């Protein structure tokens, strides 16, 4: 694998965020194949009108797939919200968490929505047992996504590549994509490619670093030294060596 370039990778790259101006830019970037967002990202951007923001976003992103998340906790409300969100546009995937806040598997809601051909992005997946349960209730005639939170799994001290592969081994449907979620660094793109992920969703801050990939390390070293030196100068730091 050529680690110096994103070109030629099999994995699809999605942009994860809720900044409209950045999304406008990324929507015209051929490297970006789709978009994801969630209530936390939207809250952090100061967004108060969930539906208004989503529909404004869909005026920009009207071809590439985009995932919006429900924010209910009971199955009947989850189903109601998911169907409504799905109706906004044909490129919409609805993010439904694998469990509710009580830790109860949302299999019934996922199954009913999938049977109704709602395109789903089942989110907050962490274990292979969860993945197996999800696969067992999904409608194979509808394209769906399972998001494995590999970054958080790595934070827990577990090899995310090995763990992702163990989840991917359960895949029995070509109409299902596995997504590497919550990456912590750019190199996670190559980890996800190595693991066999279909998609990785990348924060907008990490996407801004794409130009660093393949950078000459000697130049990178020199620039780092210059940064430390110049910051010390501008801060006015001094040592009283001759006191």
The one catalytic residue among 4, 43, 83, 95: 95
Mean pLDDT of 235-241: 96
Does the pLDDT at position 177 exceed 90? yes
- Give residue limits of the domains in the chain: 12-213
- Residue 191, Cβ density class (10 Å: 0-12 exposed, 13-18 middle, ≥19 buried): buried
Long-range Cβ pairs for the range 185-190 (8 Å, 24+) = 186/210, 186/212, 186/213, 188/150, 188/151, 188/160, 189/6, 189/9, 189/11, 189/13, 190/1, 190/3, 190/9
DSSP single-letter state for residue 118: -
Rounded Cα distance, 34 and 198, in Å? 12
Tens-place pLDDT, residues 2-31: 445 788 899 999 999 999 999 999 999 999
The contacts of residue 165 (CB under 8 Å, 6+ apart) are 195, 196
Mean pLDDT of the chain: 96
Mean pLDDT of 130-146: 97
pLDDT over 90 percentage in the chain:
95
pLDDT at 166: 98
DSSP single-letter state for residue 6: S
Q: Count of CB atoms within 10 A of residue 224's CB?
A: 10
Which token pair is 207? 């996407």
pLDDT over 70 percentage in the chain:
98
pLDDT at 238: 95
Q: Count of CB atoms within 10 A of residue 43's CB?
A: 12
Please indicate whether residue 95 is annotated as part of the active site. Answer: yes
Nearest to 23 by CA among 83, 76, 66, 81: 66
Mean pLDDT of 147-155: 98
Tens-place pLDDT, residues 179-216: 999 999 999 999 999 999 999 999 999 999 999 999 99
CATH code reported for the domain at 12-213: 3.20.20.70
For the entire predicted model, the pTM comes to 0.94
């Amino acid at each position: 694998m050529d680690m110096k370039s994103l070109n030629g990778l099999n994995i699809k790259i999605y942009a994860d965020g809720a900044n409209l101006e950045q999304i406008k830019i990324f929507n015209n970037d051929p490297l970006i194949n789709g978009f994801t967002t969630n209530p936390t990202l939207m809250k952090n951007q100061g967004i108060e009108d969930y539906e208004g923001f989503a529909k404004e976003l869909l005026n920009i992103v009207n071809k590439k797939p985009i995932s919006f998340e429900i924010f209910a906790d009971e199955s009947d409300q989850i189903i109601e919200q998911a169907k409504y969100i799905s109706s906004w546009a044909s490129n919409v995937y609805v993010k439904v968490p694998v469990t509710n806040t009580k830790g109860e598997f949302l299999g019934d809601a996922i199954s009913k929505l999938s049977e109704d051909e709602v395109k789903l992005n089942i989110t907050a997946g962490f274990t292979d047992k969860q993945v197996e349960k999800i696969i067992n209730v999904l409608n194979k005639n509808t394209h769906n996504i399972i998001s494995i939170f590999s970054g958080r799994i790595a934070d827990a001290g577990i090899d995310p590549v090995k763990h992702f592969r163990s989840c991917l081994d359960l895949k029995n449907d070509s109409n299902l994509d596995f997504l590497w979620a919550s990456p912590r660094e750019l190199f996670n793109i190559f980890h996800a490619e190595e693991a066999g992920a279909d998609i990785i969703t990348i924060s907008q801050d990490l996407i801004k670093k794409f130009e660093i990939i393949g950078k000459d390390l000697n130049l990178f070293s020199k620039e780092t030294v210059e940064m430390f030196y110049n910051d010390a100068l501008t801060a006015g730091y001094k040592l009283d060596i001759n006191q």
